[in-house]
A and B are shown apart, each in its own frame.
Chain A
Amino acid sequence: EAQVTQNPRYLITVTGKKLTVTCSQNMNHEYMSWYRQDPGLGLRQIYYSMNVEVTDKGDVPEGYKVSRKEKRNFPLILESPSPNQTSLYFCASSLRQGGYNEQFFGPGTRLTVL
Chain B
Amino acid sequence: AQSVSQHNHHVILSEAASLELGCNYSYGGTVNLFWYVQYPGQHLQLLLKYFSGDPLVKGIKGFEAEFIKSKFSFNLRKPSVQWSDTAEYFCAVKPGGSQGNLIFGKGTKLSVKP
Secondary structure dominating the interface of B: loop
B43 at the binding interface (Cβ < 8 Å)? yes
Is residue B79 contacting chain A, with contact meaning CB distance below 8 A?
Answer: no
Q: Answer whether A42 and B43 are a contact pair too, CB < 8 Å, given A98-B98, A99-B96.
A: no
List the A residue with the shortest CB-CB distance to B107: A42
Interface size class on chain B is 20 to 34
Scan B79-114; emit 1 where CB is below 8 A from any A CB, else 0: 000000000001000101111111011110000000
Q: Is the CB of A45 within 8 A of B51?
A: no
Measured CA separation A27–B33 after assembly (Å): 23
A104's nearest neighbour on chain B, judged by CB, is B46
Residues of chain B lying within 8 A (CB to CB) of residue A43? 44, 90, 104
Selected from A41, A45, A98, A108, the residue in CB contact (under 8 A) with B43 is A108
B70 contact set on A, CB distance < 8 A: none
What are 19 pairs between A and B in contact, CB < 8 Å? A33-B101, A33-B102, A40-B9, A42-B107, A43-B44, A45-B101, A92-B44, A98-B98, A99-B96, A99-B97, A99-B100, A100-B51, A102-B34, A105-B36, A105-B43, A105-B45, A106-B43, A107-B42, A107-B43
Interface residues, chain B, CB within 8 Å of chain A? 6, 9, 31-32, 34, 36, 42-46, 49, 51, 90, 94, 96-102, 104-107
